[in-house]
A = this chain, B = another copy of it.
Amino acid sequence: MNEIRPIRAKSGTNQEGASAHNRRVMIDALRLNGQLSRADLARATALTKQAVSNIIEELENDGLVASLAAVRKGRGQPSTPYRLVPEGAFAIGLQIDRHVTRTIAVDLVGTVLARKEANLPAGGPAKGVETILALIAETRRELEAIAPKSKDRLVGLGVAIPGPFGIEADQDDPWMMAAWQSFPLLDALSIGTSLDVRLQNDAAAAATAEKLVGAAHGVDHALCIYLGYGLGAGLILNGELYRGANGNAGEIGMILSRPPGGADADRAPLEHRASIASLCKILDLDPADPELYGRIDAAAGAPEARVATWVADIAFELRAAIQILETVFDPQTIILCGGMPRGLARRLLDALHPLLPSIAERRGRSAPRLQLGFTDPWAVAIGAAAEPISRTFDPRFSAILKTRAVGAA
């Protein structure tokens, strides 16, 4: 009998893996610096001029980079800077929220080229998927009208859906979107769109957006607190989005916390008290209302005592959460983002200060401990769209490795 035992091992790599990584590094460097000459790139990446030359030539042929006018910067031959070509790649993002779904089309540099929104019909995922597929198809048509090249250069469909994933959720708990969790969404979308589809939770998507085109651009260690209908955090660690063992890392809304002055038995998920959902409750708003955002905006603009209470309460909770996150992750910065009116986000940011003391209080900080990120309702959809771009073009450890034939875990 040959006993077949699973062998645990990481996979190896070869020249192809190295080459793929180097291409990604070039694109990343151009994304971060706007434009660089071949010589700049060689210095920045520690590769030789010649290697860079070959790779840039290849990327130029692939339509991903293009040269700009030569610039004289002193003695020596003028350099020819290169930049990313926005039309080099496109991606579609899909946000599925509790009551609404949104699609977005972006290009290689993260510019939004099309956006669509629809309310999710009653009847659960089976019905909802039809709406979604129609919305995606519409978005693709619109994108192709603007950028005909996109037809052959769509690198994937990123999907953002509120987490957490795969837990034993109460099927009736509206927080969980349990029906969607158990629905074979990935398959339905893969078949329905013929695109490469990946799931993220909404906080991770928000973080992806901040990483590609926002405040986390080029920051290796950043946390994005996402305050939406629920509460979550997207973790950027070592320059990559961290997903955890089951894709649930950062689900800070599920932290059990005692309300101020409350007893231990009063522990409840943080997001029950700190989220747009809690604001809806305080303001007696229907979360399913298509005009929700406008109503919140109106309430936040008016001298509304209940909003002030919510801001104060949520600031209390978030201060503690921020202190914990800073302590546990030691990030360069924390970015507050979410689907709420900008004015409300600003008020919240103000209310959060002064922050609690933490190890983040150090001399010579280059970034603020806490800053504002994207705060419009489209942030998650943008992040969803950014995911395929990031996955395809950003340097990542796993992109170097060969895909393994055997092995587990």
Residues of A in contact with B (beta carbons under 8 Å apart): 1-3, 7-15, 17-18, 21-22, 25, 28-29, 32-33, 36, 40-41, 43-47, 51, 73-74, 164, 166-168, 218-221, 233, 237-239, 242-252, 254-256, 258, 260-261, 263-264, 267, 316, 320, 323-325, 327-332, 356-359, 361-363, 395, 397, 400-407, 409
A256 pairs with B9, CB closer than 8 A: no
Q: Is the CB of B12 within 8 A of A328?
A: no
CB contacts (< 8 Å) of A45 on chain B: these are 9-12, 402, 404
Q: Determine which of B1, B11, B255, B362 lies in contact with A74 in the assembled complex, contact meaning CB atoms within 8 Å.
A: B1
Chain B residue, CB-CB nearest to A400? B400
A268 to chain B, nearest CB (A): 11
B residues near A164, Cβ cutoff 8 Å: 359
Whether the pair B46, A327 counts as a contact (CB closer than 8 A) is no
Report yes or no: B44 in contact with A25, Cβ–Cβ below 8 A: no
Chain B residue contacts of A44, Cβ below 8 A: 7-9, 11, 404, 406-407
Distance in Å from the Cβ of A122 to the closest Cβ of chain B? 28
Pairwise interchain contact A327-B362, C-beta atoms closer than 8 A: no
Q: In the bound complex, do residue A330 and residue B245 qualify as a contact, i.e. CB atoms below 8 Å apart?
A: yes
Q: Is the CB of B251 within 8 A of A359?
A: yes
Minimum distance in angstroms from A256 CB to a CB of chain B? 5
Counting every copy of the chain, the complex holds: 2
Determine if B9 and A33 form an interchain contact, defined as CB atoms under 8 angstroms apart. yes
A41 CA to B11 CA, complexed, in Å: 10
* Min C-beta distance of A401 to chain B, whole Å: 8
Chain B residues whose C-beta falls within 8 Å of the C-beta of A168 in the assembled complex: 361-363
**Do A18 and B13 form a contact, CB below 8 Å, given A328-B255, A358-B254, A359-B167?**
yes
Give chain B residues whose Cβ lies under 8 Å from the Cβ of A400: 13, 18, 21, 397, 400
Please, which residue of chain B has its CB at the minimum distance from the CB of A267?
B356
A-B contact pairs, 5 of them (CB 8 A): A14-B47, A15-B15, A46-B403, A256-B320, A324-B328
Residue on B nearest A32 in the bound complex, by CB: B8
A238 touches B357 (CB 8 A): no
State which of B22, B219, B233 has its C-beta within 8 Å of the C-beta of A12.
B22
